[in-house]
């Protein structure tokens, strides 16, 4: 491990020198490429350098404990040793996590899809609350959210909504949200006060660029039709709505929110690329999962991943057996504790696998 760390550190210094050269600074594309490479290894190098400093200070303190002739100096050194050992071990743990293989999609923006599941109007209301939760969380993170398409129930619920979220490392923070979310509460329309259980499904797809997924135009059937629902005078008068069918997979994407057929087609293609990309990722994950235990990050949509229990103000993530009683805060976008716990557990599993392989 130390050989690899020294190699990464040397690469870091090499990149710093490279970025300072006039040739690289004159080529903006190359400069951005090398700057990105630098930023990716910088946290590891900084942690490694702090680790070396602490290890050096620990060695000096342990030497004083053994060799110092003055009692006061020896006592001070003895007091420093436990704290330095703890800091060294913490840094070593951080280094091991930073050395784990990076998910190439972590830097990507996402396509977020939320659909009402079982439970009728109550499920649609819950889907709307989930969308509000992710919208608030995105706002807290400084991310940009754009709705691509939505279908409401007319009573405040959502049958389906598709949106993009753009920002720094969006997929890395939200990739664990894919799956079935379950709510347990007394509906406002339930006179007898019985607790109902409803569900909504969430899909978090890494946004795929054209370089990620090549789509052959011959594989597409594009239909246009008049848009429906709210939208002003253009509704039902122009063929601006677009339905794209990917013939090899049977995937269908419709888009009608824009008045322009060109804009609707562009949005539909964005969603189609992301769905095809996710299908390919899922095939790869399934191939790997045959020989290893399931991890937090697999995000199977068929599995119930989380329960929101209103009577007890409780949220439980079933994958990691994590429970919090901060239901109101979470639904208002304070997802950080839940997200951080999922990331930590996933990293722990990967560290165990890496140790087992090693």
Domain boundary assignment for the chain: 2-98, 110-212+295-357, 217-284
* Helix, coil or strand: residue 204: strand
pLDDT of 183 higher than 90: yes
193 vs 153, residue with greater confidence: 153
Out of 3.30.450.20, 3.30.160.20, 3.40.1010.10, 3.40.1390.10, which CATH number does the structure's domain 217-284 have? 3.30.160.20
**Model confidence pLDDT, tens digit, residues 95-121:** 888 887 788 888 889 999 999 998 888
- C-alpha 96/C-alpha 111 separation (Å) is 31
Please give the pLDDT value at position 84: 93
Residue 225 sits at φ, ψ, to 5 deg, of: -155, 170
Options 2.40.420.20, 3.40.190.10, 3.40.50.880, 3.30.70.1660; CATH of 110-212+295-357? 3.30.70.1660
Amino acid 352: pLDDT? 77
Asked whether this chain's domains 110-212+295-357 and 217-284 adopt the same fold, the reply is no
- Greatest Cα-to-Cα distance within the chain, rounded to the nearest angstrom: 94
pLDDT score recorded for residue 73: 86
Residue 294 has pLDDT above 70, yes or no: no
Alpha-carbon dihedral sign for residues 156, 160, 164, 167: positive
Give 37's pLDDT tier (boundaries 50, 70, 90). confident
Helix H segments across the chain? Answer: 2-19, 22-26, 28-67, 71-98, 120-141, 170-174, 261-289, 327-331, 336-357
Distance CA 106, CA 170 (A): 7
- The per-residue pLDDT for 225 is 81
Q: What is the pLDDT of residues 118-170, one digit of tens each?
A: 888 899 999 999 999 999 999 999 999 999 888 888 788 999 999 999 998 89
Q: Which two tokens stand for residue 277?
A: 């990309």
Q: Kindly state the helix (H) or strand (E) to which residue 287 belongs, with its residue range.
A: helix 261-289
d(CA 134, CA 139): 8
Residues with Cβ within 8 Å of 56's Cβ and at least 6 positions away in sequence, in order, are none
What per-residue confidence (pLDDT) applies to 52?
Answer: 94
Q: Higher model confidence: residue 208 or residue 276?
A: 276
Does the pLDDT of residue 25 top 50, yes or no?
yes
pLDDT tens-digit profile of 43-79?
Answer: 899 999 999 999 999 999 998 888 877 888 888 888 9
**pLDDT value, residue 59:** 93
* pLDDT value of residue 85: 93
């Amino acid at each position: 491990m130390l050989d690899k760390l020294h190699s990464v550190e040397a690469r870091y210094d090499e990149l710093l020198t490279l970025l300072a050269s006039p040739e690289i600074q004159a080529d903006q594309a190359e400069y951005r490429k090398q700057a990105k490479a630098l930023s990716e290894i910088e946290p590891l190098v900084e942690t490694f350098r702090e680790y070396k400093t602490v290890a050096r200070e620990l060695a000096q303190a342990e030497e004083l404990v053994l060799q110092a002739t003055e009692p006061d100096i020896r006592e001070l050194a003895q007091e420093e040793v436990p704290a330095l050992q703890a800091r060294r071990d913490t840094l070593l743990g951080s280094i091991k996590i930073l050395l784990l293989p990076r998910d190439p999609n972590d830097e990507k923006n996402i396509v977020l899809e939320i659909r009402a599941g079982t439970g009728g109007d109550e499920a649609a209301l819950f889907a709307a609350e989930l969308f509000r939760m992710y919208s608030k969380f995105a706002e807290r993170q400084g991310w940009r959210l754009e709705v691509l398409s939505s279908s409401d129930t007319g009573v405040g619920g959502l049958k389906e909504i598709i949106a993009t979220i753009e920002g720094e490392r969006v997929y890395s923070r939200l990739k664990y949200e894919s799956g079935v979310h379950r709510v347990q509460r007394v509906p406002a329309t339930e006179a007898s006060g019985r607790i109902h259980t409803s569900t909504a499904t969430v899909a978090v797809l890494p946004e795929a660029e054209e370089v990620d997924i090549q789509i052959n135009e011959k594989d597409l059937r594009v239909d246009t039709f008049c848009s429906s629902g709210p939208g002003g005078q253009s509704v039902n008068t122009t063929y601006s709505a677009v339905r794209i069918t990917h013939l090899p997979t049977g995937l269908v994407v419709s888009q009608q929110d824009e008045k322009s057929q060109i804009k609707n087609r562009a949005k539909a293609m964005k969603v189609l690329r992301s769905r095809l990309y996710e299908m390919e990722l899922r095939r790869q994950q399934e191939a790997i999962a045959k020989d290893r235990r399931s991890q937090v990050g697999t995000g199977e949509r068929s599995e119930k991943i989380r329960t929101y229990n209103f009577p007890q103000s409780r949220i439980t993530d079933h994958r990691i057996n994590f429970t919090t009683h901060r239901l109101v805060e979470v639904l208002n976008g304070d997802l950080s504790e839940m997200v951080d716990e999922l990331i930590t557990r996933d990293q722990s599993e990967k560290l165990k696998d890496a140790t087992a392989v090693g």
